[in-house]
Amino acid sequence: MQEGGRVSGKVALVTGGAGGIGGASARLLAQEGAAVVIADLLAEDGRSLETQITEAGGRALFVRLDVTDEEDWDRAIKATLNSFGKLDVIVNNAGVSHRNGVEETTLDAWDWVMAVNVKGVFLGTKAAIPEMRKAGGGSIINISSIYGMVGSATSSAYHASKGAVRIFTKSTAIQYASENIRANSVHPGFVDSPMTRAHHDVPGINEERVGKTPLGRMGQPEDIAAGILYLASEESSFVTGSELVIDGGMTAQ
């Protein structure tokens, strides 16, 4: 792990950090010098990643976190401070997908998607801000989606949730800019990850999505992690309230 890396000396908490985009981000942040808190409900995967990072010479801690539970957030922040002493970066990445139209979406499904994708981001942001204030600033990175910017034929609740993340991030950015706390949203396009793999395995779906992407391939978690690293680093010190779209050109059409 790099002592002089791009986020050397920083402490970052990544929700949904046990795999996919979150796992790739935790790995990359650790490689670039950050102490990383891997927050997830998937304890076995999270602890395995913690071991991988520490055995490679990095600093990592797994904490079990239900992002919809405010008390869980309090415990996760306390564990972060007990292990690493501060919090500089939060990556609100945990999320769920739901692929139904308006009439087919049940109230329970709507509430579930909103709880994880929106309330989880709100609670994480709210919990991180006091510690970032103590640290003299910080970077809040909220994972939205291209589906927080454009519509599609299905996924009504998912679109609504990711649009909420986009606007909530801008509001946060304006409220806390004077305290050197930055907030930005990341908008992945079609990415091959554990959350999307079952859908991409449906015959024709992978080919359809690659066909819609000008760069001609599916995104990988590492593609998104590279953008998250940029927003976590001081290279983005003049960037707040922005949308980082990483979609292979899909929304440029």
User: Pick the catalytic residue: 147, 158, 176, 230?
Assistant: 158
Cβ-contact 153, 170 below 8 angstroms: no
Take residue 83 and report the two structure tokens written for it: 């292990």
Greatest pairwise CA separation for the chain in angstroms? 53
CB 64 within 8 A of CB 42: no
Residue 188 contacts residue 219 (beta carbons within 8 Å)? yes
Q: What are the tokens at 61?
A: 């801690």
Is 176 one of the catalytic residues?
Answer: no
User: Inter-axis angle of helices 120-135 and 70-84, to 10 degrees?
Assistant: 30
Closest Cα partner for 187 from 223, 133, 156, 139? Answer: 223
Residue 166 and residue 118 in contact, taking contact as beta carbons nearer than 8 Å: no
- Active-site residue numbers? 158
